[in-house]
Each structure stands twice: as C-alpha cells, then as structure tokens.
Structure 1
Amino acid sequence: MKPKLTKDLLEFSEKKLISDKIRILEIVAVIFTAIGKFVFMDFLDFRLPFVVLVIVAWSIYVIYRYKQEENILKYWGFRTDNFKKTVKLMLPFAIISIILFIVIGFYQNTINLTWHLLPLLITYPIWGSIQQFITIALIAGNLNDFNKRKLNKFSIIFITAFLFSIVHFPSIWLMIGTFLLALFYGYIYLKMKNIYAMGIFHGWLGAIFYYTVVNRDPFQEVFLNFLS
C-alpha cells in the first residue's frame, strides 16, 4: 500500500513537475505573446488571426507537456473536482462586478447591449481560459512555485495583475478593469487552481464589460471586420 501523502509533500511533489528553468522559459514565452498582442492586434489589426494563433500554439504546448507528464494538467488548473466550489467562491464577486458595470455604463451612457453579446458569451470563455492559463497560471503559478521562491503571495498577485493590465494598454478602462479583476483572479488561482471556472467568468465578465463600460463591440472588431 502506498503511503498517503501529506498536503506539504503533495505540494512539493507538484512543484517538481516543472523545473525552475522551464518556469522561466514559460514566463518569457508569455511576455513574447504579450508583445505579439501589441504588434498583431494593435498595430497590424490582425485580431482574429492572432487570437487563433495564440489558442492553437498554447494548446499545442499544453498537449506536449501533458504527454511528458500527465499530472501537469491538474497542477495547472485544468480540473473539474473543485469546479463547483470555485464557482461558488467567485459568484458574489461576479454579481457585484456586473452591477457595477451597469451602473458605470448607465452613468457614462455607454451601455450597448446588442445581439453581438450572445455569441461572445459563448466564444469568449475559450479565449478567457487561454488568457487565464498564460497570464495567471504561468505567471502567478510559476512565481509562486519556484523552488527558490522569495516573493510573497501579495507581491505575486500584484505583479501578475500589473502585467495583465499593461497588456490592455492603451484603453484606460480596460487597464483599470483587468488590473482589479486580475487581483481577484490571482487570489482565486493560488487558492483553488481551476482554469475552467476562471475562464468562464473571465469570458462572461469581459464580454459584459465591453458592452457596458468600454463601449466597444469585440464581436464586430474581431469577427465581422475580418470577414468583411
């Protein structure tokens, strides 16, 4: 009979799934992905091709690492065992956020609820899950689990939120919103590690935020403009 692992031994075993060298390379890869966002989405306006490329490229990496170590998926947060618990923990924050979005949108007169929101509520969680993986899991997760970690959890969450906010430059509303949301996401991830729940909330909150506060139409910008 195998001895039962204590929580500390289990966490130590999970950390050993990734070497510090690989963690550094993953963080560098995320930074280059962020740079690509400024080049391809903001400068060249290749929004849909870039999004598809990022989803495919990082999905290939996830599959590659899974073939090397099958436990890596659960370690990263691709798990269902604590999905309901994570949703319950995030739900009050999500409800408060949506109410705040509507209040700000009403005050600014920027509420623009069209049918475009519906397909975005379906597709955006996919992109949201990828963003949670590459920004929260690979940044906050790796900084937290370095074998020679020196940063405390508050610093890790703040750094991750700051980097996530910078990626959304130059929109001030998006930078403020993503910074505050990433503070919460970082806390939830280090506590629960569930990419699925976080990706769904990221996609839904992000979509509503665009059509209430930011006064932009991502469905038009990403899909319809590309097809026209």
Structure 2
Amino acid sequence: MMSRKLLEIIAVFLTAIGKFVFMDYLEWRFPYVVGASLFWLLYIIYRWRVTPEIFKNWGFRKDNFKEVLKIVLPFGIMGILTMIIIGSIQGTINITWHIIPIFISYPIWGTIQQFLLIALLAGNLSDLNIPKLSKPIIILIAALMFAGVHYPFWWLIIATFILAIFYGYVYLKKRNVYVLGLFHGWLGGLFYYTVMDTDPFLDTFGKLIYGS
C-alpha cells in the first residue's frame, strides 16, 4: 500500500499541474489560488486533528521563529537590493498602492506554497530515507519543481530556483514554514512590481473589481 507521504508528494505534483491548467490555460487565477488554498488548509486541519504532532513536524511552529528569521533576513535584504538594482536597469519599477493588499495576502499563499514544495515535497522525501536521495539532491528536486511551475517566465524561474535552494537548506535544518512563507510573499510581491513590471493585484482581482 502506498504510504501517506508518497500520496502527499503526488498531490503536490497534481496541484502544480493544476496551476498550468487553471491559471495559465484557463486564466482562472483567483479561483485556483482560493480553491488550492482551501483544499490544503482543510487537509492541514484534518491531519492536525488526527495527528497533532504533525503540525510541528511540518514546520508550523513558533519556538524557533526568531532563530530562522535571523538566517533568512540577510537573504531577504540582499534579494530586495538585487530587485531594485535590476528594476532600475530595466526601467521596470512600477510600485503602486496595489502592493499593499499584495503584501497582506501573498504571505498566506506563500506559506501554502512553502508547505507544499518544501514541507511536503522536500520534507517527505527526506523523511522517506530513500538511500540514493541525499539532502542536496532533495533540495535540487524541490528547487526544479518550484522553478518549473513558473514557466515560461524566465526571471521568475531563475529567482524561484535560487529561493528554493536556500529555503530547502533552511527548512531541512530548522523546519519553519512561517518565516519562509512570510518572506516568500513579500519578496515575491515586490519582485512583480520591480523586475517583472506586472501588477499581480490586477491579475488576481482585476476581473472581480473592474469586470472582464
């Protein structure tokens, strides 16, 4: 019988495939994000009620928040400076008030993504103790998956690959998705408004607010 951890990994891959179908092909960005978030939130709650200790094992913990923050903060600062430099060179910095709701909402989606690609994918692969899968290979698999779901946007592919390599290392060492999700949301939101010259607020909520 297939183990739960393996089933979770398969579910992560199906969620990634859903991104290409619903967000990219059908352009159902908002319904997909809400639907995927609700599905995984309900699964997290279900597993927590059945197995309370899984919550901490997944990285939903506050006891090492400051410790992980000290590790991630310098990386975040370097990331912000790099985005500003690239955006200035490209002339793609376009920050509006829309970044405020993005900074509020994106950390939630960022935490879900870190839970899926780092906790369930990298974490489960590590816990399965597959002989030929060393930690560097596991981190590389997660990074390739994370970068791959951002195809065909090459700036995003490069940025998310670097992010996932660093995050994978931090997670397997410290296991905290709160810090990773928070920085994922903030860095990701800023990346769109500086390097990508796009507005994720309009992409996500535009049709709801202004109509088609």
Same fold (TM over 0.5): yes
Greater Cα shift, 69-78 or 149-158: 149-158
Residue type of the partner of 1:78? F
TM-score, normalised to structure 1, is 0.90
**Aligned partner letter, 2:36:** V
- Specify the alignment match of 2:200 in structure 1: 218
Aligned-partner SS, 2:3: helix
**In terms of mean alpha carbon deviation, does 48-57 or 218-227 score higher?**
218-227
CA deviation profile, 1:152-201 (whole Å, cap 9, x unmatched):
11111111000100000111111111001110110110111111111100
| Residue matched to 1:22 | 4
Deviations 1:7-59 (A, max 9, x none): xxxxxxxxxxxx97111100100000011100000011100010000110001
Partner residue, 1:66: 48
Pairwise CA distance, 1:105: 0.4
Q: Is the 8 A contact 1:41 1:47 kept in 2?
A: yes
Instruction: Give, as a single letter, the amino acid of the residue that structure 2 aligns with 1:197.
Output: V
Distance 1:213 1:225 in 2: 24
1:114-125 residue pairs with structure 2 within 5 A? 114-125=96-107
Helix, strand or coil at the partner of 2:142: helix
The number of aligned residues is 210
Asked whether the equivalents of residues 20 and 146 of structure 1 are also in contact (C-alpha less than 8 Å), the reply is no
What displacement does 1:148 show?
A: 4.0
Corresponding position of 1:190: 172
Other-structure match for 2:32: 50
How many angstroms apart in 1 are the aligned matches of 2:63 and 2:118? 19
Q: Tell which structure's C-alpha radius of gyration is larger.
A: 1
Identity within the alignment, %: 54
Is 2:91 aligned against 1:109?
Answer: yes
Q: Report whether the alignment pairs 1:133 with 2:110.
A: no
Distance in 1, Cα, partners of 2:47 & 2:2: 15
1:102-132 CA-to-partner distances (Å, cap 9, x unmatched) read 0000000000111111110011000000000
Q: Aligned-pair distance for 1:225?
A: 2.4
TM-score (structure 2 length as normaliser):
0.96
State the Cα RMSD in Å: 1.2
Q: Hey, what's the Cα distance between the residues in 1 that align with 2:108 and 2:2?
A: 28
Name the structure 2 match of 1:161.
Answer: 143
- What amino acid does structure 2 have at the position aligned with 1:97? G
Alignment partner of 1:99 is 2:99: no
Distance 1:148 1:204 in 2: 34
Cα distance in 2 between the residues matched to 1:20 and 1:103: 48
Gaps of 5+ in 1: 1-18
Cα distance in 2 between the residues matched to 1:61 and 1:150: 30
- Indicate conservation of the 8 Å contact 1:48/1:222, yes or no: yes
Unmatched 5+ stretches in structure 2: none
Shift of 1:150: 2.9
Partner of 1:8: none
